[in-house]
Every structure is written in structure tokens, then in C-alpha cells.
Structure 1
Amino acid sequence: MTVNDDSFTDWKHREEIAESMIPMIGRLHRERDVTVLLHSRSLVNKSVVSILKTHRFARQIAGAELSVTETLPFLRALTALDLGPSQIDLGMLAATYRDDDRGLSVAEFTADAVAGATGTDKIERRAPRDVVLYGFGRIGRLLARLLIEKSGSGNGLRLRAVVVRDSGSGDLVKRASLLRRDSIHGQFQGTITVDEANSRIIANGNEIQVIHAADPTTVDYPAYGIKNAILIDNTGRWRDREGLSKHLRPGIDKVVLTAPGKGDVPNIVHGVNHDTVKPDERILSCASCTTNAIVPPLKAMADEYGVVRGHVETVHSFTNDQNLLDNYHRSDRRGRSAPLNMVLTETGAASAVAKALPGLKAKITGSSIRVPVPDVSIAILNLTLARSTTREEVLDHLREVSLTSPLKRQIDFITAPDAVSSDFIGSRHASIVDAGATKVEGDNAILYLWYDNEFGYSCQVVRVVQHVSGVEYPTYPAPAA
């Protein structure tokens, strides 16, 4: 047998193992509301090849490929436990088991590591929480995809309605078509049908009421059976408390804005300050995509090295706010053709840092360049640190943060030498540290942070909504503090 035959035989063996994992992962999700992860990446509804690729990606951050032969015993052990709603990371289980010196079997170790999700300690499954999307543009449709994806267990969040302006004949069919197909993010994973008689879009069995309204104060949510809902405003039309309060009507309990909030509206970056949201807070903002990209790594650096000052330069994909061709625009430069130019513009991300990280006293400045790509941006974070360090030390720190810290869902880490922007379309992290581009000299560190400004940001929004709705389930093994 040749070496190539050996490699192919090994591949087929791993395919067989991954195939056996799919029904176990699916049953845990549907029957117990358990999401199985691998280094913060969900394995729910993934194909055989996707599961194998996710295992292989571990080499980028952990230094070695993680084999399905290593994680399968932990997955089997999980299926034998009386688990409650939770997120369980097979990658972390395997890593912590290797370092454990108690001589426990895989089953014994797994039971101990996830003890908080079993027996009398487990969380009871909660009734679904209604969610309403106000606006159905780029972010709105991606939020819809994520909410539908996460409704598989029948618990957690339930997308009940979308509120949009009536665009006339064919409105419902066109909106369903835009949800079904996306030029950047691809086909919707599932089936979509249109119930024109009842003004509904049915996606993977989720009946989504499409409500036509030009003013939030005219919508009668209880008439559609919607109650105690979280409304996500994707329009950006209102950004202060007074404007967003228009949404607080019967049927709506809280309002979440997908843009930077103004005035006293809290700007929340999940993973950094989401635990500061007061239970009685009814209006909050998820800040901007760029704020979400820079604040987690900024916190990681400030906690370890201290930050004296910093500047962030964002190279940002163009957005619907710009013109396709030169035309009048109320903002400077944004009237010039987005697909044909690099456009200097402003960013509020630097000033928003103070709201998300009030303990950081360093002055952070920022600017932005819009460039002719439709999605994925990069933030160049130039920091003066409180102490000198080395490139190797910084990279080791950020790699560890991406693997084991409470910020592991926000910060990803990549060492690929040929990585470019399109490689990060669909990333669920708030930002991805590009190890190869990182520069450190003495007390100066320059981080290059990729981020999918559409999908990665939408994932952050959903995490905030899960948190304020009470359906953000704990992760096991617990990340290091």
C-alpha cells in the first residue's frame, strides 16, 4: 500500500466517524437544547466535511490538528448524561482532559467537567421568547437566518414577525426571495415558502408574520399573538432613547438597536460589558460592527499589558449608505461611487470604546477608509502599551485568549500566510487576529483584525439578545477567567 493509499484510508475512516457524530449532535440539540461546539464553533447542522474541516482548523490556533477520533469519546459520554440546556465545547474537553492528572476515564472526566449542566444543577428548558425584526435589510435578513437556525430545538428565541414598509405588489415574494438568496452569504440553509393570503414567510417551519407599517406607533403586536417580545431595530432611523421608545408598545418588552446608541442608551459589546445590562433596562444598543471588532482585543491587550493610547484605522467594505455612482449625499465623500473608489470617511468606533470599556483611560482615536469590496473589513489597531513586550508573547497571549478565555466567542486567531478578506465571509467571531501581520516593538503593538462586518456583527447582536432574554446558556468546560 502506498503512502497516498494510507492517507486516503485515514480520510475515509475519519469521514465515517464524523458521520456517526451527526445524529448524536442533532439529538442533543433537539431533545436537550445542548449546542455542541469545537473551539467555539458550532457543530450543529454541519456536514461530514464541515465537521472534519472544523477539527482541522484547530491547528491554526492550538498548534495541532484535533482528530475526530479524539473528540468522539467525549461526545458519546455526553449522550449518556442527563444534560440541561447548555453549550459544550468538545475541543476544550479534549484539551483539559490531556492536562488532567487525576487518572479519570473519559466518561468520568466529562461528567465532572459538565456537572453544572446535569442533575439538580441543570437549567430547565425555557419557553421560547418572541423576537420582532423592525427592518429587513442586510443585517435584518442575516439576523433572520441566525434566529431560524437557532430555533431547531424549539426553545430559546423565536422569530415571530418582521416589520417593513409596504413596497407594493410582490413585496412579500421579493422579501422572501432576498432571504432565500444572498450574493455574499449564499443560499438559505433550508426551505422557504410564502403565504401571501396571511402575509407570512414560512422558513424551516417558522411562521414569520410580515407586518407593513411606516410608523412603529401604529403596529398592534398583540393582534398577531406577539407578547413580551424583544424588538431588534435594524433601520438606524432612531438612535436615542426618545426615538427608540416609540417601539415600546403592548407586546414589546425590550428594544435592541443594531447601530451605535446616542445619549444614555447603553452600547453593549457581548463578551465585554453585556453583564452590565440591568434587568430593568428596556432599550440598548449593540454599538457598531467596528466597535465590536476592536473592543474585545483591546480589552485583551489592556488586561495583560495596559494601554496608554491607541489609534484604529478601519479599511471597511462599502455599504448601502454610499452611492453606487456619483450623486448627491449629505455626508462628505460618501456621494462618490462606492464600487469605484477608496473613500475617506469617519468612524464613531473609537469614541464608542469609552462606553463599552469605561475603565480604559487611554485615548483612542480612529478614522476609516471605505473600499470596493462588499463585505469583510479590517481594523488596524495601533497601541502604545504600558510595558514592553515581544511579538511572540503577544501572539501567545492572543492565541490563548481565543481558545480559553471568556472572549473566545469574540476573538478568533489565524496563522494562514495567504489569508485575504473573502476568507472571513461568514465568520461568527467579532474579530480575527491575523498573526502573520502582527507587529510588536517594545511598547508598540500593531494588530490587524479582520471582521465580517455583516455576519460576525449579526452573531454578536444575537448573543446580546440571548443574554437579555435569559436564554444565553452556560458553556462547559467554563472558560478561564
Structure 2
Amino acid sequence: MNSPVDAHRRNWIAREEQAERMIPLVGGLYRNHGVVTSIHGRRLIGLSSIDLLKAHKFARQAGADELSLDASTRVLEALLELEPGPASLDIARLHQAYVDRGDGADLVDFLRGELVEILDGEDGPARPKDVVLYGFGRIGRLLARLLVGHAGSDAGLRLRAIVVRKGSEDDLVKRASLLRRDSVHGPFAGTIAVDEENSTILANGTLIQVIYSDDPSTVDYTAYGIEDAIVVDNTGRWRDREGLEQHLKSKGVSRVLLTAPGKGDVKNIVFGINQDDITDDDRVLSAASCTTNAITPVLAAIDEAYGVVRGHVETVHSYTNDQNLIDNFHKGSRRGRSAALNMVITETGAAKAVAKALPQLAGKLTGSAIRVPTPNVSLAILNLTLERTAPRDQLNSYLRAVSLHSKLRQQVDYIESPEVVSTDFVGSHRAGIVDGLATIADDDDVVVYVWYDNEFGYSCQVVRVIEHMAGTHPIVLPERANVTLETMAELAGA
């Protein structure tokens, strides 16, 4: 007679084997068709069988039914049969749409009707867009990892070069080593080879030219076959239009994106909120800050449903390279004290910067920050007074719905767990994660806690902005899941 222990073990092995069979289906859709698959926002590309099982189980934590492996496999096989064009497809939502509206139709025929926008295209894949990383610090290296990871399709972004100041004779080897190993984000997922003679790094088949320069206006990118490139400035040395436009003087550059808050009239773009403000005439743009990207989508959602009268944003932020490891001179107040030993009160412009993406909140928010001795993942505390009463359960239900079904589902995540801590959010692809159990609500006064990976989550937002600038951001389907915040508010009773 089989024991319950044996039965559970056999069931696990069977599920693991089924997940393993899904891996080539996910990979084939990505490599051959440029299709990025996900389950409620959890990307499936490059996942192990165990991670695929975890992605399927996540639906229950998000308040939905667990998606079966059988259902996922059938959707993936049907998609391969349809041979769609580049897109971001949520197979959980596609399956649910089939359950709700399929009426017994053949799955392939149903999906053909749902995905008509990406089927039978006659234009063929678009030419990949050249991208140059100017600077190779924390954000630069994570952008490199993301861009290399997105290189499975020929229709997207193509990392062509990084530009740095030469630090030593073995500079190239050291740069490659920092890309290969990361104390926070772990090892690079793949292989890296260095060619010192030609000053290149080969990462998973992506050949990256390393260019040494201290002047953004004098690099001839065309000498390396780079044309019409988007330069992503990760240095933070220039934040106004005049400084950033130096890049445009170099041959082969068409546009510039800053990975820090832009000053003056430089547009600060938070993807999901105001990317449609980008015009063809915009040559210089900013992707704002990590904190601005984390809080703006959540604030937009809350303002849509309840109206924000005023508020204060307190950021508990991990230390950065701008601070000193041990006490030393720093031009900024308090930042000269040891980052590894102290909590440091400092300023933040994130609250004011929100108004650049959400003009209706101009003058309504104040902000401050505390730098703390952790290397990554930060926490924004939104203390808000609202126009309408927001009962705690209603507010949480609304924010959970936003994370699953709204136009902000790539930016906002939601979690309810009494045990999560900051390191649990390392590697999150979302701009911010609402901690539902921490929410406080008292009539029209609420406090909402938003975690964010201030390195990786922000870098994902930057890549989305680059894709939008390049016209390569994949269409997100199914559209029926992409309902408005107003509808979400109505569903939540707000």
C-alpha cells in the first residue's frame, strides 16, 4: 500500500517533469517570435522547473486561483501553433479569458481572435536598436544584464558598447568581473569572455565594445558600426539639457536617456505613467529616480480612486556609492558619515519629482529620506490625506486589483505576508510592491508601505523607457485585462 509520503513525492516529481517540458515552449516563443510570456506579471523566460512551479503557485497569493500546469502548457502550445509576432503575453490571463468566454471553442481559434493584433504581420521583425551605456556602475551593469537577457529576439534592443574612464591597465578584466559577479544580485546568468586586444566583452553571444573616454562629445560610435544609438548616461555627472546634449555631438548618437532625475526642462519619464509624453522631437530625456518610479504609480492609483489632498513621503533607503564607507569629507550634509554604520537623515527630491509625471499632485507632497546600512531594497512610506474615506480592506483590495489587472500591473506589485523583509524583494521586476499587511487607514488618513528594489526594479523601468523611445516595447496582451484605474476603483467600491 502506498503511503501518503510516497504519493506526495510522486505527485511532486510528475509536476516537476511537466514544468521541465514547458521550458522549451517558453524559450521557443521568445527566441523565434519575440514573445515574452508571464503569469500574472512573473516572467517565465529563463526560469528553472522549480521557478516555473513557484510562478504558478503565485496566483493564489495574489488572490486568484492557482493556474494548472496543464492549462499553461496548452496555452503555450497553442501560441506556438499561431506563430505570433513580438508581444508580452500573460498566459494566466489568456487562459482565464478562454474559461470565461471560450464557450467550448477550440483554444487555438479562440486565441487567434484574442491576439489578432500580433498575428499575420507582413512587416517582418524590426531592426534592433543600438544602445550604448555611458558609465558602468551599479545601474549600468544591471542594465547590461537586462539588455543581454532581452537579446533573444532580433527585434528589440541591442547593447553595442559601454563607455568608461580607464581605471587601470587591467581595466577591461575588472569591468567584466564586476559584470560576472555581483554581491547583491548574484552571478551573471550565462557566460562572459574578454578580448583585451579588441577591447570587447562577449556576454551570452552579445558582443559589447568597451570604449575609453572622458568626453561625451568626442566619441565616434560609427567607427564601431554603431548608428542612430540611444546613449544611456548612468554617470549622473550631467543632469541638465546642456550637459546631456554633449552626447549628441558624438557621431552615431540620436537620443540620450539619463538614469537620474533630470533638471530644468528635461522630461522626467516614469514608465506606466507618462511615457506617452515622449515625442519624436525629444532628444534628451530622464528616467527619473528609483524612488520616483516606485511611488508615482501607487500614488496615481490612489489618487484616481480616492483623491490625494496632501501627503508626506518618508523613504527608508539603502546606502549608495555616493556615501562614504568610513567617515570622510563629503560635500553633502551628513553623507560624509559611515554608510555602513549609521542611519543618515538626508534630503530627497522624489516627492517633488512626482509632480513632473503627475501634475495634479504638484505642491501636495513633501518628502525626506533616511539612508540605512543595507546595500539594496528600500521602503517608501506614503502618509496621505485623501478626499474620500478609504477603509483599509477596501484600499488593499483596490491596490491588489491594480497589481493584477490595471494598466499599472507592470509597475505595481502587491503582497500580504507577515514574514517578508527587504531582501525578499531583491530582483523584483516591478517598480514598487505594496505591503498590504502594513497598510494603516483611519477615515481619510492612510499610510501605505511600498517596497522597491532601488537597483533592479528601477533598471527594469529604465529598459521599458528605452524600449518606448526605440519603438520596440512589446504590446501587452490580453488587452481586456488592461482595464482603467477608474474601473478598478469602481470594482473596489472606492
For the criterion TM > 0.5, the same-fold answer is yes
Corresponding position: 1:393 with 2:390: no
Q: Which residue of 1 aligns with 2:175?
A: 175
- By how many angstroms is 1:361 displaced? 4.8
Displaced runs of 4 or more, over 3 A: none
Answer yes or no: is the 8 Å Cα contact 1:308–1:362 preserved in 2.
no
Range with bigger deviation, 65-74 or 223-232:
65-74
Deviation digits for residues 380-430 of structure 1, max 9, x if unmatched? 011111101211111111111111111001001111210000000000100
C-alpha distance in 2 between matches for 1:309 and 1:395: 20
Whether 1:456 aligns to 2:453 is no
TM-score, structure 2 normalization: 0.95
Distance 1:66 1:412 in 2: 18
2:347 corresponding residue in structure 1: 346
CA contact (8 A) 2:219 2:251 kept: no
Name the CA distance, whole Å, in 2 between partners of 1:137 and 1:36. Answer: 30
SS in 1 for 2:333: coil
Which residue of structure 2 lines up, in the alignment, with residue 382 of structure 1? 383
Q: Distance in 1 between matches of 2:20 and 2:369?
A: 45
One-letter amino acid of the structure 1 residue matched with residue 24 of structure 2: P
Distance 1:163 1:345 in 2: 31
Query: 1:384 corresponds to which letter in structure 2?
Result: T
Greater Cα shift, 215-224 or 290-299: 215-224
Instruction: Tell me whether 181-190 or 105-114 shows the greater mean CA deviation.
Output: 105-114
CA distance in structure 2 between the partners assigned to 1:146 and 1:60 by the alignment = 27
Contact 1:14 1:69 in 2 (8 A): no
Distance in 2, matches of 1:163 and 1:53, equals 38
CA drift of 1:107 comes to: 2.6
Verify the 8 A CA contact 1:33 1:125 in the aligned structure 2. Answer: no
Aligned match of 1:480: 483
Using the TM superposition, give the Cα deviation of residue 441 of structure 1 relative to its aligned residue in structure 2, in angstroms: 1.7
Deviation at 1:241, TM superposition (A): 0.3
Is 2:330 the counterpart of 1:333?
A: no
CA contact (8 A) 1:399 1:413 kept: yes
Alignment partner, residue 277 of structure 1? 278
1:101 CA displacement: 6.3
TM-score relative to the length of structure 1: 0.97
Distance in 2 (CA, whole Å) between partners of 1:64 and 1:400 is 14
Do the aligned residues in 2 keep the contact of 1:259 with 1:286 (CA within 8 Å)? yes
Q: Is the 8 A contact 2:102 2:110 kept in 1?
A: no
User: What runs of 5+ residues in structure 2 fail to find an aligned partner?
Assistant: 485-494
Aligned residue for 1:384, secondary structure, equals strand
Following superposition, the deviation at residue 175 of structure 1 comes to 0.3
Work out whether residues 84 and 123 of structure 1, in 8 Å CA contact, stay in contact via their aligned partners in 2. Answer: no
SS of 1:232 mapped into structure 2:
strand
Q: How does 1:44-443 map to 2 (within 5 A)?
A: 44-100=45-101, 102-120=103-121, 124-248=124-248, 249-361=250-362, 363-443=364-444
Q: Structure 1: how far apart are the matches of 2:102 and 2:21?
A: 30
Q: For residue 359 of structure 1, give the secondary structure of its aligned residue in structure 2.
A: helix
Unaligned runs of 5+ in 1: none
Per-residue deviation, 1:233: 0.2
Q: Could you tell me which amino acid in structure 1 is paired with residue 173 of structure 2?
A: V
Alpha-carbon distance between aligned partners in 2 of 1:279 and 1:438, rounded to the nearest angstrom: 41
Q: Deviations over 1:259-314 (max 9, x none)?
A: 00000000000001011111210100000000000000000101111111111100
Contact 1:85 1:123 in 2 (8 A): no
1:371, distance to aligned residue in structure 2 (A): 0.3
One-letter code of the match for 1:235? T
Instruction: Give the conservation status (yes or no) of the 8 Å contact 1:60–1:413.
Output: no
Q: Deviations over 1:320-346 (max 9, x none)?
A: 000001111000000000000000000
